Structure 1
């Protein structure tokens, strides 16, 4: 999915952790703690981008159609999107190191299950367990990182973490493609095991098992409603998009509509439940009293939705329609993380001087142009004339947006809400990709001319979503973002 973007959208979680007293660090083995956080987070960064490249091989090996391949991606993204916030809250209650290590163990065991999966159902089950593990390890890894450093040291640590994450996102598709070409798709899940073992060893030795000084009761009702609602919506979108009216029975369409309706009801109940809990909710509705935060949330959902869908489809089309090997398809995505890694720091500095509104408005528009150029991928022409220009423009546009987005999210809410706001923004980034992947099952099921036609339609939809993201930033943000007033 958008794993190559996750270091950027996640680093606000670490930056939003409560500041410590003045000083450089508060942890005796801070550098080892940083290494632990990097190794744990790399499990999520590498795995998702690798799986995208492996979809054609998985589909051929397990006889998976478009809906099945969508679930290979969304089986991971769904629990991660729905349970990211509750995973962080569990760390506050039971200890961040304990939840980090539990998440890493679960992720490693699930990776073994994915590698050994005898059928599509077992593979999806493994991906769901990987998502559950990531929902535990990601927020607690970042909370540990944010709590272990202060002042200038925190900025350096978060920057190092993000840079390594971006490098992992760049190497992941290339390494995964090579493994698929030489050893088969099952090998891509074994590359998680060395990182998991190292993260566990370092966490056990160097990371303190800190508890939050105070915390509200866990919002299990909200987490359950969010997970159930998103599952129903995802299943409904997948069924609806994977079956055309001509080829599907009325029953499958009716089930899709029923699932979408049930999902909408469950998500409405989720909003009601969160309103009842006030500031103790995992998603306090007070956040949305801020127009800038609403604009940033819409931008994140739409922009990462456009990007997430496209990053699943581009390697798939390159392999299926253009005859690329998995290694070549992975290498085709390299411009994206490389350009962002090289330019996002400068874009962040520019946003600090000029305010985030302009960059957050222009960046998505550039992404939209890149999505339009991406309609040429899979057609006649070389990589240099078709894929590279699209990837380069998308990368430049994302570079304009990712660093200012991190700063703007933290500035758009009051100090008491920075942690949950950054976590919610990260969850929305994944939710955008979840929705996009569920809606494109028909593309993954198509072949030949139909595949290219549907892919082009999806690229145009992605361009429209990116334009909407830029407009939401322009209309709802100010150069000096406002803050949410704490609710009583």
Structure 2
């Protein structure tokens, strides 16, 4: 049942800020943790393998729960789900604040990941329920702008607090933010609950397949890996994933709607998305780790370098809007992928010995990534039928998480192996950046094929009406209005 505790005018101001807390916390946490990890693992007596698990566990929990968040929210209500997510995130932050060893800290990260899965997807629905249509564009802009500060504040704040006081203060800030978000969300209107079934088998098999694959890849990165464990986990991941696909074909409310892959060229965008997300997450992780453990840089200085790598990301998103006036989104994504590949090659050649020179390819990376992150959403919205759009965007979000997990596992393992064998010319960081360029080549090929296919289609995306986005928004609003009216979601 929908309730309203403040005036609609206040909703339009309160909702974007409240919803930004959930997304902003996820961005802040991951970007702060990546520069604090070397100090954290040293303080709790853990190794680099444990550091990767602390980073990946958040994404694994997030990925496992994310496909069923829409169903959970339909059962208990969007606002309550958002508050539960913030409570889980806050619990994880509080546990991390006092954790003295690896396992409690790992549990804290899992709790944070589950909380992030419940909060971020529901933010858009809460905005829709609390902001009038004529003010929605401004509300979304406020939501994105406020939450995006976590990208920039995270590495700088994490590095500063780690050096000046303690990395634990980052989690204290998050506990306070979660408490504020829960209180503010209680004043928002809700979307009524409906009866649906949660695809528990899909959650278990899908999450299990990813966990097994990540475990195998992470174990392979040890100095002396247990190859029986590597082969066993990777071998089990394959039938588990096949079982997941079989379940998704049979259940009425699947965690992942496989029908969306029947949309023309959708699979190519998803494959490219997985590749460049793998390089971005894995490259960022290795960069911070190498600067502190091999290059002798402080956490604070490493935070500023990480900031440089993300500094132009918002500009890249705005650049997409400008470039699509002259080229199709597919063409822009293709050229951005080439630009990102070139930036990785330059970073691999230059290294970080001359820091001011190394910053230049890092800035280029952020710009290209901004174009790609906004571009994949625009391309999916232009190529997928409106009735499948929600499933397509959900699949895109899952792919980003999956690519990030596998990227950290693979590139982190590769980096450790390069160190173990004494690789020095180029150094392990340069070798990792060159590996990022190689991993990105399939994405370049897929996006090029997408451009060619779009050019040959009877109705290429470049020929679509300029108001296609407006039409899609109207259709989505109709669907949301039906859900608020109590109709069963399709």
1:218 matched to 2:198: yes
Quote how far apart the aligned CAs of 1:480 are: 0.7
Once residues 447 and 457 of structure 1 are traced to their aligned partners in structure 2, the CA distance between those partners, rounded to angstroms, is 13
Quote how far apart the aligned CAs of 1:360 are: 0.7
Alignment match of 2:380 (pick from 409, 422, 425): 409
- Residue 275 of structure 1 corresponds to 249
1:265 matched to 2:239: yes
- Residue 361 of structure 2 corresponds to 390
- Residue 348 of structure 2 corresponds to 375
Alignment match of 1:241 (pick from 200, 221, 225): 221
Give the total of aligned pairs. 449
- Spell out the pairing of 1:329-408 with structure 2 (5 A cutoff): 329-351=302-324, 354-376=327-349, 379-381=352-354, 383-386=355-358, 388-408=359-379
Gaps of at least 5 residues in structure 2 are 1-6, 455-459, 469-489
Once residues 401 and 281 of structure 1 are traced to their aligned partners in structure 2, the CA distance between those partners, rounded to angstroms, is 28
- Spell out the pairing of 1:5-404 with structure 2 (5 A cutoff): 29-149=11-131, 151=133, 153-205=135-187, 207-211=188-192, 216-243=196-223, 247-248=224-225, 252-277=226-251, 280-351=253-324, 354-376=327-349, 379-381=352-354, 383-386=355-358, 388-404=359-375
Quote how far apart the aligned CAs of 1:356 are: 0.6
Quote how far apart the aligned CAs of 1:435 are: 0.4
Quote how far apart the aligned CAs of 1:348 are: 2.2
TM-score normalised according to structure 1 size: 0.86
Provide the secondary structure at the position in 2 that maps to 1:39.
helix
Quote how far apart the aligned CAs of 1:88 are: 2.6
Structure showing greater relative contact order (alpha-carbon pairs closer than 8 Å, 6 or more residues apart) = 1
For residues 87-130 of structure 1, what are the alpha-carbon distances to aligned partners after superposition, in whole Å with 9 as ceiling and x for unaligned?
Answer: 23211121011111011011011111112111112111111111
Quote how far apart the aligned CAs of 1:454 are: 3.5
- Residue 441 of structure 1 corresponds to 413
Once residues 220 and 186 of structure 1 are traced to their aligned partners in structure 2, the CA distance between those partners, rounded to angstroms, is 34
Q: Cα RMSD over matched residues?
A: 2.5
- Residue 419 of structure 1 corresponds to 390
Once residues 62 and 313 of structure 2 are traced to their aligned partners in structure 1, the CA distance between those partners, rounded to angstroms, is 24
Once residues 115 and 31 of structure 1 are traced to their aligned partners in structure 2, the CA distance between those partners, rounded to angstroms, is 32
For residues 335-354 of structure 1, what are the alpha-carbon distances to aligned partners after superposition, in whole Å with 9 as ceiling and x for unaligned?
Answer: 34331223422312432553
> Which protein shows a greater Rg?
2
Tell me, yes or no, if the aligned pair for 2:351 and 2:429 is still in contact at 8 Å: no
Once residues 377 and 308 of structure 1 are traced to their aligned partners in structure 2, the CA distance between those partners, rounded to angstroms, is 20
Quote how far apart the aligned CAs of 1:26 are: 7.4
Tell me, yes or no, if the aligned pair for 1:294 and 1:476 is still in contact at 8 Å: no
Once residues 409 and 434 of structure 2 are traced to their aligned partners in structure 1, the CA distance between those partners, rounded to angstroms, is 17
Gaps of at least 5 residues in structure 1 are 1-24
Once residues 148 and 474 of structure 1 are traced to their aligned partners in structure 2, the CA distance between those partners, rounded to angstroms, is 41
